[in-house]
Amino acid sequence: MLNEEKAPADCLDHRRAGVLLHLTSLPGPGPCGSLGPEAHNFVGFLADSGMTVWQMLPVGPTQSDGSPYQTNSIHAGNPRLVALEPLLERGWLQSAPADDSDAAKFRALRLSWDGFRERAVEADHKALKDFIADNAYWIDNYSLFRALGREYRTCWWNWPRPLRDRDPDALERARQRLAEDRDYIHYVQFLFFSQWQVLRGHANAVGVKLFGDMPIFVAHDSAEVWACPGDFDLNEDCSPRVVAGVPPDYFSATGQRWGNPLYRWDAMQADGFRFWLDRIRTQMRLFDMVRIDHFRGFESYWEIPAEEESAINGRWVKALGDELFERLHQRFGKLPLIAEDLGIITKEVDALRKKYRLPGMKVLQFAFSGDPTNPYLPFHHDRDSLVYTGTHDNDTTLGWYLSLDEKSRTYVDEYLGHPSEDMPWPLIRCALRSRSHLAVLPMQDVLGLDGDHRMNLPGTSDGNWSWRFSWDQVWSELPGKILQLVKLYGR
């Protein structure tokens, strides 16, 4: 193992329980949850409940649809998640926004930049300067990408050709012309990462680990595709030749056409997988453990011709996942990575996961097909895995249970021993007593909410990612009940 970076300790060293809740779903002021006081309050709720893991979705800057799986950068933090309360406390912001809109929040962030320049002490200015230097491997490309996007108000492949194609002279002129806007973008990222480290420090101090989510693919309109087009399978006009997705499955009869450009694995291998080394470096700065979304794409990925409107007419293409993970192992040692291995999983995919000792996922909502060989049934779980009642792509457990036909519901009831408790508690107990070392419960299930509180419906673009909980939904005895179950099942 090289000494450039060191992986954190194994977070699945013993049985744990955790909650899946994205930061945007926290209560509080503003258009969505943030890294402010409510995030710290939620850490307290987890600690009081005996939970030691907080899993969330990707935290990058989202695009117009709000999906955390389509972001403008694989490194940057989402400005929407920056909390205003610390800025008010420091005196960099004089007053809170008059409303909870995104526009009002972004105006407040811009005003805080003026306040920072006028009132921040020397140590704060030095901290900002050090942050920019420490993140030089990505932040220059990102800030220029965002500044140019604001200037031209269109996607990067529609910019003037010298900028689209990254002519060095054109880039340098743009850096100078947009210096003020780039400085502000650096400042907002400084706020995000500073507030993140405060939250992570607080969580770790009370025994809570932060668990992130890393999409395998990146958005076409992102700083990384613009900065390193040779890593992606693009046409001469910078449009994708082929795009990512998955074939028809449980979630969609026509599959899912995600639209992300696909990687040129040969080019990535030629430069030692620099793209992935940098990506993991950032993730380890943020999280104690990370889920790799769509892990099976590292063995073979579903390639869809860009002109196709659905994912049906695609094909499986071999990836270089083995070579990539070998390089990551050389650089970092054993990483705290989790493989999202749901969907069509072949023996080759399973062999790749096991070779690098990556725990997989078991989702109980997929378990009750009536087939005793179903791998999601609890008696098939192994210790080196994570069990979920459901994920952000599933209905809530109560919503799922209520949607079952009578025969399926009877089977679930019989398997669970005809419990007297109302759903979702029987399935929560089933997850907690599983052999899997980590049991994760969506916050909606902890609160016993129905399908109206679903986070995402795969294959749709409207009405997703906006759910938020309220502390009014957390009844006073809830932490104690969870703590009792956590102790009962040795977590």
CATH architecture classification, 16-77+196-488: Alpha-Beta Barrel (3.20)
Please state, in angstroms and rounded to a whole number, the distance separating the CA atoms of residues 407 and 243.
40
Q: What's the pTM?
A: 0.95
- Order of strands, edge to edge, in the sheet holding 209-214? 337-339, 289-292, 209-214, 53-55, 16-20, 438-442, 385-388, 360-363
- Helix, strand or coil for residue 319? coil
Angle between helices 136-152 and 179-205 (to 10 degrees): 130
% of the chain at pLDDT higher than 90: 93
Report the C-alpha gap between 389 and 18 in whole angstroms: 12
What tokens does 22 get? 């994205």
Rounded Cα distance between 355 and 333, Å, is 14
Whether the per-residue pLDDT at 4 is higher than 70: the answer is no
CA–CA separation, 60 and 72 (whole Å): 7
pLDDT tens, position by position, 369-411? 989 999 999 999 999 999 999 999 999 999 999 999 999 999 9
Tens digit of each residue's pLDDT (9 = 90 or more) over 227-242: 999 999 999 999 999 9
Report the 10 Å Cβ neighbour count for 382: 13
* pLDDT of residue 7 exceeding 80: no
Compute the average pLDDT of residues 421-440.
97
Residue with tokens 């940057």: 76
Residue 8 has a pLDDT of: 53
3-class secondary structure, 173: helix
Q: d(Cα 313, Cα 233) in Å, to the nearest integer?
A: 18
Q: Which of 487, 488, 429 is nearest to 52 (CA)?
A: 487
- Residue type at position 314: G
* Segment holding 386, helix H or strand E: strand 385-388
Q: DSSP letter at 232?
A: B
Give the tokens for residue 173: 């002129």
Mean pLDDT of 312-329: 97
Return the H-helix or E-strand segment holding 431. helix 425-432
Token pair 């704060």 in the structure block, residue: 124
Residues with catalytic function: 293, 340, 393
- For 429, residues 6+ apart whose C-beta sits below 8 A from its C-beta are 419, 421, 485, 489
Q: What is the mean pLDDT of residues 289-309?
A: 97
Q: Is 228 exposed, middle or buried (0-12, 13-18, 19+ CB in 10 A)?
A: middle
- Token reading at 378: 């609890």
Q: Look at residue 3 in the predicted model and tell me its pLDDT.
A: 37
Angstrom distances, CA of residue 85 to CA of 102, 118, 192, 264, 439: 16, 18, 13, 43, 33
> Is 75 a residue whose pLDDT tops 90?
yes
CB atoms within 10 A of CB 261: 24
pLDDT of residue 293: 95
Q: Please, what sign has the CA dihedral across residues 215, 71, 147, 135?
A: negative
CA separation for the pair 127, 406 (Å, rounded): 61
Residue 5's pLDDT is what?
46
CB proximity list for 106: less than 8 A, separation 6 or greater = 79
Instruction: Assess whether pLDDT exceeds 50 at residue 433.
Output: yes
User: Residue 14: what are its φ and ψ, rounded to 5°?
Assistant: -155, 175
Q: Which pLDDT does position 6 carry in this prediction?
A: 47
Q: Give the count of beta carbons closer than 10 Å to the beta carbon of residue 3.
A: 7
Residue 486 parent element (H or E): helix 478-488
Q: What is the pLDDT of residue 9?
A: 53
Q: Spell out the domain ranges in the chain.
A: 16-77+196-488, 78-195
- pLDDT (tens digit per residue) in 189-219: 999 999 999 999 999 999 999 999 999 999 9
Calculate the dihedral angle through the C-alpha atoms of 274, 137, 54, 9, rounding to the nearest 10 degrees. Answer: 60
What DSSP letter does each residue of 190-231 carry, written as one string? HHHHHHHHHHHHHHHHTTPEEEEEE-SS--SSSHHHHH-GGG
Cross-strand bridge partners of residue 102? none
Rounded average pLDDT over 300-305: 98
Alpha-carbon dihedral sign for residues 427, 428, 429, 430: positive
- Element spanning 246, H or E: strand 242-246
Where does the pLDDT of residue 458 fall: very low under 50, low under 70, confident under 90, or very high at 90 and above?
A: confident
